[in-house]
């Protein structure tokens, strides 16, 4: 007996859904569960996604956390520590 998979697909924009639609449908038709997470969604691109969810029992979607282009505190700390290591060779030895 084949094992059923749980697949998570993370996509930046909802408009890219049409690239994955046939893959998602094929996986769901084989009994696998697919969860698609979209970081950015626009209402005009959600209709095909809603339609596939209505037609397919094993498909669902939700929102992903979208990381903005601004540097986060951890990234800034890492960057500063890297530069500190270059400025003071005693740190790296």
- Provide the residue-wise pLDDT of the chain in tens; the chain has 93 residues: 578 999 999 888 888 888 999 999 999 999 999 999 988 777 777 888 899 999 998 999 988 876 665 556 667 777 777 776 666 666 555
Q: Which candidate, 33, 32, 29, 11, places its Cα nearest to that of 20?
A: 11
The residues facing 10 across adjacent strands are 37
pLDDT at 85: 65
Residue 54: Cβ-neighbour burial (10 angstroms; 0-12, 13-18, 19+)? exposed
Q: What is the pLDDT of residue 67?
A: 65
CA-closest candidate to residue 32, choices 20, 42, 24: 24
Closest CA to 38 of 6, 65, 20: 65
pTM beyond 0.85: the answer is: no
Q: What's residue 77's pLDDT? A: 72
């Amino acid at each position: 007996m084949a094992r059923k998979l749980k697949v998570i697909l993370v996509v930046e924009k909802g408009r890219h859904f049409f690239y994955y639609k046939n893959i998602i449908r094929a996986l769901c038709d084989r009994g696998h569960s697919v969860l698609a997470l979209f970081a950015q969604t626009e209402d005009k691109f959600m209709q095909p996604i809603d339609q596939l969810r209505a037609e397919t029992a094993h498909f669902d979607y939700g929102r992903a956390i979208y990381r903005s282009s601004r540097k986060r505190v951890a990234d800034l700390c890492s960057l500063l520590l890297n530069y500190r290591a270059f400025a003071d060779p005693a740190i790296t030895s």
